[in-house]
Structure 1
Amino acid sequence: MISIGSRYDSDTYFIETCDALAAMNVDRDTFAHEHALMLLKPDAAVTAAMGSAITWLLDHGYRIVGAYPVQLTYLHLRALWYFNWHRATAERRRVADRLAGLSPSLVLVVGHPDGEQPVSVRLTADKGPADPAQRQPHHLRHALAAGTYLLNKVHTPDDPDDVLREMSIYFPDPQLSAVISACVQGADATADAARIVDGIESGLDRRSGDLAAAQDAVWQGLGGVGGWDRPRTGEEWLAALADAEKRGIDVDPWFRIVIESSYLPMHRQGSDGI
C-alpha cells in the first residue's frame, strides 16, 4: 500500500483506489487532478435529463472518458455521503432510498483541457448547489431544471480526494482497475454514455418533476377512492399520502417522491445541512 497523506488516509474506499493506482504505476495526484466523476441519478433518468446533462458537459468543454451504469442501493448512499448523512432526517433517508431504486444511475468519468484547477473542483462549481434558490443560470442543475433539494439530478465529488474515494464505492475490483485503465488511455466514451442513457431511459415512462403536475397526478388516483378533500398544504398532502399507504391505495412512486421531497424536512434540527 502506498503512503497516503490525505484527509482520507484511514478511509477504506480511498485507500482501495490508491492501491489500485499504485499497482498500475499511475500517479495518484495526477490522476485525481485530471479526472472528475458525475453521477446522474434516477431523477435524471425519470425526467429524461441524462442526455441533456451529457450535452451540457460537452458544450462546456468537458470530455467523457468513462461511462458506466450503476444500480444504487442504500449502501451506496450511505458510503457516498458518509461524513454528512448523519445530518439528514430519517424521512430524507427513506425518500432517497426509494429514489435510488427507481432506475439504474449513470456514472461518468470526465476530464477537461484546462489544467489550472482540478477537474472535480471546476465541475462542482459548474454543477451548482443543491438548494434551488442558490442556483444561477449558468449552472448545470439550473439547465436541467432540477427540482427540489433532494431531486437535484446530479452528484459530483467536490475535490480530488473525493474522486478517488468515490471511485471504489462505485467500482469494486477488478472493475475499478479496468475503469482506471480506460481513463488513462483517454478514449472518448461519449458514444458509450449515449448508449447507456438510451438503455436506461427507454425502459422508463417519462415523468415530470414539477410539483403541481405531481399533485394533479396523485389526486387523480386519490380523489375517487380516498374520501378526502383535495389537500391544500404540504402537511395535508403528506397526511393524504400516509393515509393512502395505510389503506393500501397505490400511489405512483415517482410522484410520491416529488411531493414528499418538497414537504418533508431534509435536515436534522440544529444541523448546517448538506
Structure 2
Amino acid sequence: MSRAASAESIPVHRASRYDEDTYFIETCDALAALDIDRDAFAHDHGVLLLKPDAAVTGAMGAAIAWLLEHRYRIVAACAVQLTPLHIRALWYFNWHHATPERRRLADRLASLSPSVVLVVSHPDREQPVSVRLTADKGPADPAQRKPDHLRHALAAGTYLLNKVHTPDDPDDVLRELSIYFPESQLGAVISASAGGVDASADAVRIVEGIESSLECKSTDLAAAQDAVWTDLGGFVTGARPRSGAEWLAALADAERRDISIDPWIHIVIESAYLPMHRGRR
C-alpha cells in the first residue's frame, strides 16, 4: 500500500475541545473499533438521563411517553446506579460552582434509586439530536421553563430536582457515554444505538421495574413541610416554621433528637432552601 493510499484510509475528524479528555477518547476508540464514524454518530444521537428524582416521583414513564410523542426514537436503554464519581465526572467543568450543600444533596439523591440512560435519535437531522433534545428539555431553573419543555411536563420542582439531564452537544454525548458505561459495556451500547432498532419496550420494562419498587412521592414543598411538622408533633414547642431558615433548623433539630424524617422529605426541603451556587447565599 502506498503512503498516499494509507493516508487516505485514515478518517479525518473535526477538532473537539475534548480531544485530550479520557472519557471522550474512550468512546472515540470504541467507535473506531466498530468502524463507526464518530462525528456522524455524535450528530445523530442524544442521551437522556432519567435521574432518581424522576424515579421517586413516578416521572420516568412520563418522560418516555414525552419522547415518543415528540418523535424521538429510543435506540438503547440501560439502568445505571450513579455514584459520587459519576456525578463529578458528568459535571466536572462546572461542579466547582456548586456549594458543598449541593454536592452532598446530589450524592444523597443519586443513592435513592437506579437512574436510566436512554440513547435517542430523531428523524430531523438538520441539527444535532443532542442540541435539539437539550432545547426541548428546558433549563434547570423552573422560572425559565416553558409549557412545551420536558421538565415542565414532568413538573420538575427545584433547581436540583429537575428529573432529567442531557449532554448539551455532540462532543458531550461521546464524553458522557463512557462515564455511564465501562469499556466492557460501551461497545454493545454503541452497536445497539447505531443499529437504530426501537428500544422503547426495553426502556418501559426497565422503568417499570425501578418505579414499581419505590413508593411514589411528591416534590411539593408544602406537602414536605406538612410531613415534617407532623413528624415533629409532640417533640417541639412553639410556632410552625415559616421561613426557609426555620425549616432547615427544624430538620437539624429533628436529627439532634433522633427523630426519623423521610430522606426524600429532607431532600425536597433542603433543595428548596440551601444555596446551590457559590456566592449565592
Smaller-chain TM-score bracket: over 0.9
Partner of 1:202: 212
- Partner residue of 2:260? 250
Question: 1:151 — aligned with what?
Answer: 161
**Matched residue SS, 2:252:** helix
Equivalent position to 2:57, from 47, 59, 65: 47
Q: State the shift of 1:224 in Å.
A: 2.3
1: CA distance, partners of 2:184 / 2:255: 42
The 3-state SS of whatever aligns with 2:113 is: coil
Local SS of the residue matching 1:174: helix
Report the alpha carbon displacement of residue 2 of structure 1 after superposing the two structures with TM.
8.3
The separation in 1 between residues aligned to 2:80 and 2:25, in whole angstroms, is 21
Query: Does the 8 A contact of 1:2 with 1:22 survive in 2?
Result: no
Which position in structure 1 is the counterpart of 2:43? 33
**What is the TM-score normalised by the length of structure 2?**
0.94
Instruction: Give the match for residue 109 of structure 1.
Output: 119
Structure 1 residue runs of 4 or more that deviate by more than 4 Å after TM superposition: 1-4
Cα distance in 1 between the residues matched to 2:130 and 2:71: 14
Q: In the TM superposition, what are the counterparts of 1:1-274 in structure 2 within 5 Å?
A: 5-227=15-237, 229-269=239-279
Q: Is the 8 A contact 1:147 1:210 kept in 2?
A: yes
Q: What stretches of structure 2 of length at least 5 have no aligned partner?
A: 1-9
What displacement does 1:248 show? 1.8
Q: Within 2, Cα distance between the matches of 1:52 and 1:106? A: 13
> Which string of whole-angstrom CA distances, capped at 9 and with x for unpartnered residues, describes residues 209-236 of structure 1?
1000111112111122244532111000
Sequence identity (%): 75
Query: 1: CA distance between counterparts of 2:204 and 2:51?
Result: 15
Aligned-partner SS, 2:228 = helix
In the alignment, the residues of structure 2 paired with residue 217 and residue 11 of structure 1 have an alpha-carbon distance, to the nearest angstrom, of: 45
Partner SS, residue 216 of structure 1: helix
* Alignment partners' CA distance in 1, 2:271 and 2:236: 22
Counterpart-to-counterpart distance in 1, 2:65 and 2:234: 42
Q: Using the alignment, how far apart are the partners of 1:2 and 1:253 within structure 2?
A: 51
SS of residue paired to 1:214: helix
> Which has the greater radius of gyration?
2
Q: Output the CA distance in 2 between the equivalents of 1:210 and 1:270.
A: 23
Give the AA of the match of 2:143: A
Deviation at 1:51, TM superposition (A): 0.5
Looking at structure 2, the residues matched to 2 and 189 of structure 1 have their Cα atoms a distance apart, in angstroms, of 30
The aligned amino acid for 2:136 is D
CA contact (8 A) 1:226 1:244 kept: no
Q: CA RMSD in A?
A: 1.5
> C-alpha distance in 2, partners of 1:30/1:256?
44
Q: Give the Å deviation of 1:173.
A: 1.1
